[in-house]
Structure 1
Amino acid sequence: MNDQASPHNDDGIDPAARAAGHQPALTGCPWHDVNEMLQAAGLRPTRQRMALGWLLFGKGARHLTAEMLYEEATLAKVPVSLATVYNTLNQLTDAGLLRQVSVDGTKTYFDTNVTAHHHFYLENNHELVDIPDPHLVLSKMPDVPEGYEISRVDMVVRLRKKR
């Protein structure tokens, strides 16, 4: 979590971040930060959401599947079902706190970094990592059907070890 101080309004959320639709300013205390993030997103900070949020956001930018988070929760003695993990991840995604990245159409990762960026998928160890170049752009976007607009572009570049 980020220890930077920033000006706050009455609800503790950085006004510039709120105006830009970003997460609230972080205090460095994961439990407090998760509570603030949930409330700012309009989600009730239930015990299970707080515990799962603490596991998700307490370790910085991460890419996790529901199964990975469920395993972490089990090891941390957080009593949740896999269905609750899926529901919570989908609620956090709908609230804009997570970004969903699909790989192969069968595996879905949840990214704690919700900024616009792309990914490498390391096939050999089933790992998703951010592409570090912020200047990566598509030179031409496709024409979209009448009545639609592009909401987001997710590029996943698949990598495998050389043989």
Structure 2
Amino acid sequence: MDSNCRKDSIALDKRVRDAGLRPTRQRIALAELLFAKGDRHLSAEELHEEALAAGVPISLATVYNALHQFTEAGLLRILAVEGARTYFDTNTSDHHHFYIEGENRIFDIEGGPVMVNNLPEPPEGMEIANVDVVVRLRPKRRL
């Protein structure tokens, strides 16, 4: 293991610990896959495939559990865009997304804020914490 890999592994261990999670071997392996390539949007199934391809022996159930633990700890943001399919976003800042129907591909909307007007009043004692906008795309239909 070269010194850069060792430093990255130590940084991930610290990041997981600082989020209040125990840095198990499987959590660290999944964190390496999640965070080593910059901001990403992944489903549990996609991460599971990546883990297996990288030689990480892990069950899909364990991947789901780890992703939900990372989300609860604030390391990931959950995106529900396609019925039962959930995506996990490594960028936890407030931002919005494009989703390409039929391709199951999601990516960030760049270029500033999205304006949402006429939001309903929240119930008594509640406040709006965040508004997630997912703009669905498809190829133009030719006439």
CA distance in 2 between partners of 1:30 and 1:127 (Å): 28
Q: Please give the TM-score of this superposition, normalised by the length of structure 2.
A: 0.89
Residue among 137, 156, 159 paired with 2:115: 137
The reply to whether residue 71 of structure 1 matches residue 49 of structure 2 is yes
Structure 2 unpaired stretches of 5+ = 1-6
Is residue 2:83 matched to residue 1:105?
Answer: yes
**8 Å contact kept, 2:95–2:113:** no
**Which blocks of at least 5 consecutive residues in structure 1 are unaligned?**
1-28
Give 2:92's aligned amino acid: V
Given the alignment, which residue of 124, 141, 154 partners 2:102?
Answer: 124
CA distance in 2, matches of 1:133, 1:154: 16
Higher helix share: 2
Shift of 1:32: 2.3
Please give the alpha-carbon distance, in whole angstroms, between the structure 1 residues aligned to 2:8 and 2:78: 22
**What TM-score comes out, normalization by structure 1 length?**
0.79
Moved more, 51-60 or 126-135: 126-135
The yes-or-no answer on 1:53 pairing with 2:53 is: no
The offset of 1:137, in angstroms, is: 2.2
Give the deviation of 1:39 after TM superposition: 1.0
Q: State the partner residue of 1:80.
A: 58
Give the AA of the match of 1:134.
G
1:162 corresponds to 2:140: yes
Task: Quote the Cα distance in structure 1 between the aligned partners of 2:8 and 2:65.
Answer: 21
Q: Give distance in 2, aligned partners of 1:105 and 1:154.
A: 16
Count of paired positions:
136
Alpha-carbon RMSD: 1.5
AA aligned opposite 1:132: E
- Cα 1:124–1:105 change in 2 (3 A) is closer
Distance 1:53 1:102 in 2: 21
**Higher relative contact order structure (alpha carbons within 8 Å, sequence separation ≥ 6):** 2
Q: Give how far 1:102 is off.
A: 0.2
Runs of 4+ in 1 over 3 A off after TM superposition: none
What displacement does 1:79 show?
1.0
Deviation of 1:56 (Å): 0.3
